[in-house]
Amino acid sequence: MNKLTLTLLVILLPCVYLSGDMFAPAAHPRPTFPPQSNRSYRLAQYTDYYCDAGTWVPIGKWDFYYPSTFTSKPDSLRVSWNIQNNWLPSESYVYTRNAAGKVNERKSFNLLDGNYDLTNRAVALFDDQDRLTHYYSYDVSSSVEQPVYRSHYYYSGNSLSAIFDWEDLGGEVLFGQATNQADAQGRLITSFWQQSADSLNWVNYSYQQFSYEAADSSDGTAYMDYVYNANCEWQTDYNAHWGMLYDRIDSQPSGTDWEYSWHTTFFWNTGTNVLNNVAGDFWQGEWTPAEYYNYYYDANGNLAELIEQDFGSVWEDSYKISYVWQTFTGNDDETAPAYTGLQLKVYPQPFSGAANISLQSVKNSDIEVGIYNLKGQLIRRFQAAPGQCLLWDGSDAAGTRCSNGVYLIRASQLGRSVCTKAIKIN
């Protein structure tokens, strides 16, 4: 990853571009969220870095927030960027889920002049088997929604057989369609993409071929879940895979034929079926090394670190993601294994109707909670017991709705205090 790419990452925010790559491009920034490795853990935070002369320099940080229901699935996340060694909040995302826990709406907010403004809304529809059938994305400006992307998904048996999408590229409309082929297990083995400016005249765009490790026992559900997660949860690892892929070969049209363009090879631990490395080669008449990814895991089997190396004349570290996981149960929503004192959590972030204020402590005494504006003025006070979750409706002590902005939540117990922020939006 060269310096120009890193500059664009910081300015434009990390995106996963999926055009011609199983589904259409994501028009908005998204996290690279790894699949859940250990079902007893959930992702609390991750930070990405670029390498500058052997030193890792942080770029962005993603903090995940979870509700008391669907405790393994985030209801919001907040993004901060490292600007001159200061972490500055920038974006927030809020998820709404259906009864099955699937994301049917996601709202994206950007921080501007101290307020979080709604900038994008995405909506997902599902069939009676909870399979993704439609996905719509709208840019929002001055409360006016403008459609920018939509996709439709079609199934045959236990496989995702076809995808159709549409995107507005700043006034230029682009249609895409994919035809997928599955093997006897229902696993994706080829994906043939075409593009069109009018949905009538189609041209070849890309062709992917996939093969799998002998130990892979997945079926078509793995790819279906991947497509749902990438679109709705924004949950993928840094290298796109589902099941135990062995390799993937990308080709692009060359006259009336196809020409190789990229080759991805996956290396697995055959004893544990854990992904160890991924190699990326580009075609120059022969396969030429370009990128190499190393995966490192903690003692609990969760992905702890991903390091990318780029090849010039030698392999050099270029990019890194570090992950922080936390334990959870179906009945609580806090970091484990044990509480070491007074803990305070406010979610979702940002909130519009009401905010949940979760309080935990190893002490049995009551906890005083104060809500302050940025001028330091106390606007609301609560008293709660440890383990209680309060609901703040966004109003002050007189019952007047507070304006949008950032508020400070302070919890105090037996001379100890903790403080966090709450972000209120329309």
CA distance 247 to 220: 17
The rounded mean pLDDT for the chain is 84
Architecture of domain 343-424: Sandwich (2.60)
What φ, ψ does residue 226 adopt, rounded to 5°? Answer: -65, -45
Task: Decide if pLDDT at 336 tops 50.
Answer: no
Return the pLDDT at 237. 64
Main-chain dihedrals φ then ψ at residue 70, nearest 5 degrees: 50, 55
* E strand intervals along 75-217: 76-83, 86-97, 103-112, 115-126, 132-141, 144-156, 159-169, 172-182, 188-196, 203-212
Task: Look up the pTM and report it.
Answer: 0.72
What residue ranges do the domains of the chain occupy? 3-327, 343-424
Poorest-confidence range of 112-121, 130-139, 236-245, 246-255? 236-245
* Architecture, CATH, for domain 3-327: Beta Barrel (2.40)
For residues 206-231, give the mean pLDDT: 93
* Cα separation, 268 vs 270, whole angstroms: 6
CA dist., res. 118 & res. 338, Å (int): 37
The reported pLDDT for the residue numbered 2 is: 41
* Residue located via tokens 């966090």: 420
Please tell me which residue, 339 or 96, carries the higher pLDDT value. Answer: 96
For residues 259 and 141, give the distance between their C-alpha atoms in angstroms, rounded to a whole number. 42
Lowest mean pLDDT among 138-147, 207-216, 366-375: 366-375
Residue 357 makes CB contacts below 8 A (sequence gap 6+) with 344, 345, 346, 369, 382, 384, 389, 390, 391, 392, 409, 411
